[in-house]
Amino acid sequence: MTLLNPTLFLEEPPALQVDVAIVGGGPAGLMAAEVLSRAGIAVHLFDAMPSVGRKFLLAGKGGLNLTHSESSELFRTRFGQRQSAVANWLNAMDAQAIRDWAHGLGVKTFVGTSGRVFPEEMKAAPLLRAWLHRLRHPSVGVPVQFHMRHRWRGWLGDALVFEPTGVAGVRRVQAKATLLALGGASWPHLGSDGAWVPLLAEKGVPLAPLQAANCGFDVMGREGQGWTARFAEKFAGQPLKSVTLRVDAGPQHPPHAAPRFFRQGEFVITQTGVEGSLVYAAGAHLREDLNLGAAHFSLDLLPHLTPEKVLTEVSWPRGSKSLSSHLKSRLGVEGVKMGLVYELCSAAQLADPQTLAFSLKNLKVSLKKARSVAEAISTAGGVMFEGLSPDLMLSAQPGVYCAGEMLDWEAPTGGYLLTASLASGWRAGQGILTNF
């Protein structure tokens, strides 16, 4: 790390001595602070923003999805290649523990029709206010000290270096233990900008490149140029409901391997492509294929009907009816589904009943690229588990722990991201206590 001017340190006051410094005021950092505060450890939490929990608040603006009510066995499968590591966090703080924790803050929860768990008020702000009040005025333990507008710039010797906003010079902090909970690189205007990557790389910490996760994708379109202007203008923003999305095994997998992803749900058409919960859930597979050169997924627009039934209805004589009227009356295909069929099928495919019936059950959507990391809900990549102890301490930096989205794991939306972030903060806090 190269500091702006070494002479800044000549008249700097002595470094602030603290028991534990937590860098980052998102869910993982706040949860670790709670664990340590309850145990009587003096915690100082630093954040670059004017207030903590900014991404948490924005994510909960339309309804805070705390966790999911599905079985713990199924819940653990949502974390892809990292499900074994994440399961270790969830052993101490699972979905039910998250609900109990929220109830302890005076926030009641309910299970929605999709199985997702929300606060009764639906908003994140009341929960965050109650949480911060408890951290500042705990009934057990010691208060957490918050230092806002402190941007972390790395280390000078064994001291953390912060650059306070609007104040000349820097501030040094020496901690017996440090937790980094700096987030990924999505929504950088809320504080998580990935600026920590070179700082940890300098220390020899193994890092996987940050990539967009829970993001939209731009499509290739039938002519390789994305959606046509007509289709985008008419259908952008509209949800495609009750469809099944399938990602088949790619050339890197054994022949005739089962699909890597197969799930019914919904997503949204955008000006340039697709986004939404079903796309996010398949995103890791689609990103893997794009990294190898090409990616697509297949849609079943009529998952409630067999291929034989679809072929029978498509083949039914339509007389003077248009194809649109025919498919609407015989199969209920209309609106954005019908638009997608016209957008992705050639005139020859539309004219042949067998090919059209196959397309309605296997509509291929080719992808051009993932949307940018800055637009993504979360990121994949980050601090690799191979460089961490089970307590989430960095092997390359003893006494420094990491938690939250800056670790190399990912999960779809639906409460999984938030639950695992909170659980990782709990695990890191317990790790610090064990080694304190």
What DSSP letter does each residue of 343-361 carry, written as one string? HHS-HHHHH-HHHHHHHHH
Quick one: CA torsion of 409, 411, 417, 420, rounded to 10 degrees? -50
Return d(Cα 430, Cα 183) in angstroms, integer.
19
Which 3 state secondary structure label does DSSP give 377?
coil
> Considering only CA atoms, which of 268, 227, 220 is closest in space to residue 367?
220
Return d(Cα 59, Cα 151) in angstroms, integer.
23
Number of helices (H) and strands (E) in the chain: give both, helices first. Answer: 15, 18
> What confidence score (pLDDT) does residue 6 get?
52
Region class of 397: left (phi > 0), else alpha (psi between -120 and 50), else beta: beta
Q: For residue 64, what is the DSSP state?
A: -
CB-based contact 282:261 (threshold 8 Å)? yes
CB-based contact 428:180 (threshold 8 Å)? no
Q: How far is CA 435 from the centre of its chain?
A: 30
> What confidence score (pLDDT) does residue 256 get?
72
Return d(Cα 25, Cα 47) in angstroms, integer.
6
Looking at 316-389, which runs of residues are DSSP E strands? 363-370, 378-383
Residues in the chain: 436
Q: Where are the domains of the chain?
A: 6-212+380-435, 217-370
Return d(Cα 53, Cα 423) in angstroms, integer.
16
> What confidence score (pLDDT) does residue 1 get?
47
Q: Give strand pairing partners of 49.
A: none
> What confidence score (pLDDT) does residue 171 get?
92
The fold of 6-212+380-435 is FAD/NAD(P)-binding domain (3.50.50)
Number of C-alpha atoms within 13 angstroms, CB side, residue 47? 24
> What confidence score (pLDDT) does residue 255 get?
67
> What confidence score (pLDDT) does residue 342 get?
96
> What confidence score (pLDDT) does residue 223 get?
74
CA 335, 340, 346, 352 dihedral sign is negative
Q: Which residue has the tokens 């270096």?
A: 161
Looking at 15-119, which runs of residues are DSSP E strands? 16-23, 43-46, 67-68, 109-111, 116-119
**Radius of gyration over every alpha carbon of the chain, rounded to an integer in angstroms:** 25
Given the DSSP bridges, would you call strands 363-370 and 295-300 parallel, antiparallel or unpaired?
Answer: antiparallel
- Provide the terminal-to-terminal Cα distance of the chain, rounded to the nearest Å: 28
Kindly list the distances between the CA atom of residue 52 and the CA atoms of 176, 244, 387, 413, in Å, as whole numbers in the listed order: 23, 39, 28, 21
Return d(Cα 403, Cα 393) in angstroms, integer.
9
User: Could you read off the pLDDT tens digit of each residue along the chain, which spans 436 residues?
Assistant: 444 555 444 456 789 999 999 999 999 999 999 999 999 999 999 999 999 999 999 887 778 999 999 999 999 999 988 999 999 999 999 999 999 999 999 999 999 988 999 999 999 999 999 999 999 999 999 999 999 999 999 999 999 999 998 887 899 999 999 999 999 999 888 888 999 999 999 999 999 999 999 999 999 977 778 999 999 999 999 999 999 999 998 766 676 778 999 999 999 999 999 999 999 999 999 999 999 999 999 999 999 999 999 999 999 998 889 999 999 999 999 999 999 999 999 999 999 999 999 999 999 999 999 999 999 999 999 999 999 999 999 999 999 999 999 999 999 989 999 999 999 999 999 999 998 8
> What confidence score (pLDDT) does residue 10 get?
47
